[in-house]
Each structure stands twice: as C-alpha cells, then as structure tokens.
A and B are shown apart, each in its own frame.
Chain A
Amino acid sequence: MEYVSPEGLRIDGRRPMEMRKLQAEIGVVAKADGSAVFEMGNTKVIAAVYGPREVQNRSQQLSDQALVRCEYSMANFSTGDRMRKPKGDRRSTEISLVIRQTMEACILTQLMPRSQIDIYVQVLQADGGTRSACINAATLALADAGIPMRDFVTSCSAGYLNSTPLLDLNYVEDSAGGPDVTVGILPKLDKVTLLQMDAKLPLDIFENVMQLAVEGCKAIADYIREVLSENTKQLEYRRGL
C-alpha cells in the first residue's frame, strides 16, 4: 500500500514533515487540581492531576521526595471496535510506567517530600500517537496544577514508510508495520527523556527519524507555551489585574 503518493502527500493529505492540528484546553475537570485536554488530529486525550497531597498508602511514602503515580487507560469507545479491557492489560501497564517515569524526570519531586502526585490520563479518541498526546496532556495538567517542574516534557512520534521519514503518524500509518519512533524531550534543556522504537530500522536512518521527531516535539513545546500564557492572561483578567 502506498503511504506517500508520488506528489509527496500522505493518506490524510499532509506533507511528510507536517504535524497534525494541535488543540489544547486547560481546566476541564473542575475537581482536579490540574487538568487538560490535548488533541493531535483525531487523537483526543484528557489528563487530570491530583496533588501534591497526602500519601494514601503509608508504606509507599518517600521521605525525601514526592511519590508520582500514573494511570493510563483507554476509553472503551476510543477505538473503532469496542475495547474489551480498557486498563490492566499489559500495554496499559507499560504505558503507565513510561508516562510516570517520563514525568518524574521533569517534576521537582525533592521540593515535596512525603506527598503524592497522581496523574490520570484517559484516551477518548485513539488515532495513533496516544502515548505522545498523553504526555503532552500530562504536562499541561501539571502546569495547571501549579506543580514545580524543571521543564516541560513534550512528545511526538515519527516513522519511516516508503523510504520517507514521516512526522506524527496516525493509526493507519502506525499499523503499517513500519518503524514507529516516539520521542519525549525537555525542550529548554534539549535532552531526550523518552525514546521508544519498534520494528527494524538501520542506524543512520534512525538518526534522521529521531531528529525529525525532536523537531516535532519543539514545535509542540512552542504551542504549549502559547496555551499556558494565554491561560495565565485569562486568569489575570478575571482577577482584575
């Protein structure tokens, strides 16, 4: 099947280096300390952050830093066919672990000992790149909750089909069996914190694909900064400043 037409257009009409449309909203879950909805094309994810609060399970309390917990689940209606088990299966467990460790790299946990920060991420619509959308949503939710962070974590995926590096794969391109590289970076520090890849790819091509994904992450970081500064302006306006 042809994923990149001879004119250089992908299945959904994008160029190879073009990302899907981004849309984010903050403060959607009123009860949570911080929350956000993040959309990348048709992929829609909602994240809610509770914390810092008292550790619920005393035996897990850490005396020198905050405990970060994360739960990833996909809604039954998020994929084409209704899903049997939205959480607790191996993929969800792995992605929960990945998101937790990624966010731990950026949260200043040393400032909040003996406390707990919970991150709940739920996928409402899945069209490829759910992992990245979840990390971006979690970053926004953490910022909304006012939790001190070293830097944002933004994430984007890239692939390689028909000998072309493609940015931000959707579901059809992802299930094509080609490589799928998901990268999460700390944009200001320019460091890679999350890197996952599956399917075979030669070493030199991998470097190009990773570089492309990092560029995508930086673009998302700019967008997130915009959204947050817009949100701050709104808060200031409401307070009458």
Chain B
Amino acid sequence: MEQRLANTWRMTVNEKKFIESALLSGLRVDGRNVYDYRKLSINFGKEDGSAEVHLGQTRVMGFVTSQLVQPYRDRPNEGSLSIFTEFSPMADPSFEPGRPGEFAVELGRVIDRGLRESRAVDTESLCILAGKLVWAIRIDIHILDNGGNLVDAANVAALAALLTFRRPECSLGGENGQEVIVHPPEAREPLPLIIHHLPIAVTFAFFSDESTLVVDPTHQEEAVMAGRMTATLNTNGDICAIQKAGGEGVPQSVIMHCLRIAATKAADITVKIRDTVEAYNTERALRKIKRHSAPVALDVSGTGPNVRKNQVKSQDQRKVSGSVGSQVDKLKPSNERNDSDQSNDIEGILTRGVLTRIS
C-alpha cells in the first residue's frame, strides 16, 4: 500500500494525463509498441545458480542454494522449493527494509505458483532418503532497481538461476546404506536440477479506458494504471498461473485476447533464456577442461610415462574429475615397471599436486 501511495504523490497530474492520453492513441512514453517488451538481458555470476536480469531499467538478481533437510510429513519422498524475495530500499524509496510488504509477498507467491504448482521443477529427484533427507531448494530474489514490471523480471531471474544451478552429488553409504555422503564439487561433478518446462510470466496493465492495455508496464505506467494481470505460461500451450488481483474490471474477451498475446511473448522469452543458458553452459564446460589440462603437461623420461600420459588424457576426455588419489592408483601398475625410487618420486609429486619435469 505504501508503494501505491508513494507513486501517487510522486506523479504530477500533468504526467498522468499525458501518459493516459498518449495511450488512447496507442503511443507509449518510451516509444514502444503496445505489445512490445523492453530489452531483456541475462548475466550470470561466477557461482552456479546466480543470475542477474535487466529488463529495460528493472534489475533483479536471483540466487539458488540448496540444503539437506527433513521432508514434510505428507510428502516424504519429495524435495521442497521455496522462494524468498528481498525488496531492497535502494530499488525504490517506497520499499521499506525489514519484513516483506504486501507486494513482495504477492510477487513471491506468483512466482511460487508458477514454479511449484505447475511442477516445473522435479521435486521427486531431490529425494535422497525417503522420509529422512531431501534437498530443499531455496530461491532468493533481490530487487536492485524498480523500473516497473518486477514480476516478469524476477521470474526470468529465478528460471535462469535454476537452470544454471548445480547441486552436489551424494551417495548412500555407511553400514546399512543409511548414511548420506555429500561429495564436494572437486570430487564429483555437481548435478543440474531437472526442469520439465519453463513457466514465463507476462504482465499486462489495464487503464481506465476499456480498450487500452499494455504489455510490460514501466514504473510510470504502473503509477497510472487501473489494474494489472500476470499470466504465467509455458511453450507447451499450458497456462501455469494467472494473477489478476482485483483492480479494473475487464470483459472476458479481453482476458482471452491477453492470454493469446502472452503465449507468443512467452515463446520469445523462452528462446532467449535457453540461448543464454546454453552459452553459459558451454563456457562453464570450457572452464572445466582448462582446469584438467595441467596433468597432461607431465613429462617423464622412460617408456612408462607415455602410457601414463595417455591414461591421464583419457580421464580428461571423460571429464570426470576423479580425486588425485584415484589417479595415483591408476598409475601404480605402470610404476612397478620402473625403478622403485623414481616411481616413488613421481607418486609423491603427484599426490602433492605439483607437476614438474623429471629428468
């Protein structure tokens, strides 16, 4: 409510009338067409599972983290997904620090409905031990700059972060297979989440004149609008969620019209997200290869080393980061063919992780 009041006092009557009358002739203040989105760009952070989205002037960051917890009693073999929003006061003077306000809660719940109720993220694959331990995925959304249409930007940020997130691999061990061992990312490659489809949120703003509606309202258009509707759809033609929380009444035909427009917009945004995530994944894979190329630089005299080099190279190509210990184990049989002291040197050097030329 404070946000609404802040907008009303910041906007002058002249500005309001200007925006409204421009919309009557189908013109928007920033020059876009009525159904056009602003420029959308997605950047990823250094860690897996962090994304920053720019939608025009709106900036939102999404972070995904995971934790092992006990499952809910009524769903013992499913993991959980929770969304937390942080409306920082640096984004908009009307946001207050501390407990999330109404709009923060609404945004969190709209994104939550789109992701969880539509089963976009597969929660059954997050189960490790039924009834005892499951992965709880937590999505944190931080609003950095409120340029209007936070829902869409936050949704894209959440999806991008989920697509690039990797959770540690764990295996069952112990005496009766009841102990869970979580492997660090250096030991075993972390796994991506299983995401069935991408629910994309498209927001429409309605104005007091019946026939006027715009897609992706800016901050100023939001201050003038009489009602808003967010439709979350995926590219399979399903509607995942709709949120029209009161505001100006619109005829049913207009709602169906909006949903059809939203379907085309969702397709565009999905393509964009997938392309950027694809680029990120390739770049990430390249980074991993560079890390493992160091063992190939081993140069040791004698017939044994050639066999060793090949073994190390083939490990590389499989791109499985085995621990240094297993590398040494694989090299042990060929070591026995050489002098014992030379092989000991090599073993010692490998276990220390330092690779130098051995004359």
Contacts and interface: CB of A to CB of B under 8 A. Distances in A.
Contact of A199 (B108, B118, B246): B118
Q: How large is the interface on A (under 10, 10 to 19, 20 to 34, 35 or more residues)?
A: 35 or more
A149 to B, nearest CB: 13
B239 A97 contact: no
Given A97-B106, A190-B251, A202-B238, A196 B259 contact: no
Nearest to A196: B243
Contacts of A193: 227, 244, 246-250
Interface in B128-168: none
Given A200-B238, A210-B255, A211-B252, A194 B105 contact: no
A189 B249 contact: yes
Contact of B259 (A98, A99, A100, A206): A206
A191 B227 CA distance: 13
Q: How large is the interface on B (under 10, 10 to 19, 20 to 34, 35 or more residues)?
A: 35 or more
Contacts, number: 109
A193 B228 CA distance: 10
Nearest to A180: B117
Interface stretch (A26-34, A40-48, A102-110, A221-229): A102-110
B242 interface: yes
Nearest to B255: A192
Contact of B241 (A101, A102, A197, A214): A197
B109 interface: yes
A207 interface: yes
A179 to B, nearest CB: 8
A21 interface: no
A195 interface: yes
Contacts of A105: 227, 246-249
B97 interface: no
24 contacts: A60-B1, A60-B5, A93-B105, A93-B106, A97-B103, A101-B245, A101-B247, A105-B249, A184-B246, A190-B251, A191-B251, A192-B251, A193-B227, A194-B245, A195-B244, A198-B113, A199-B118, A199-B241, A200-B118, A200-B239, A201-B239, A202-B239, A203-B233, A207-B256
Interface of B: 1, 5, 8, 102-103, 105-106, 108-109, 113, 117-119, 227, 229, 233-234, 237-252, 255-256, 259-260, 263
Interface of A: 60, 62, 90-91, 93-94, 96-105, 181, 184-186, 189-203, 206-207, 210-211, 214
Per CB-CB distance, the 7 closest pairs between chain A and chain B, nearest first, are A101-B246, A191-B249, A102-B246, A195-B244, A197-B242, A193-B249, A198-B117
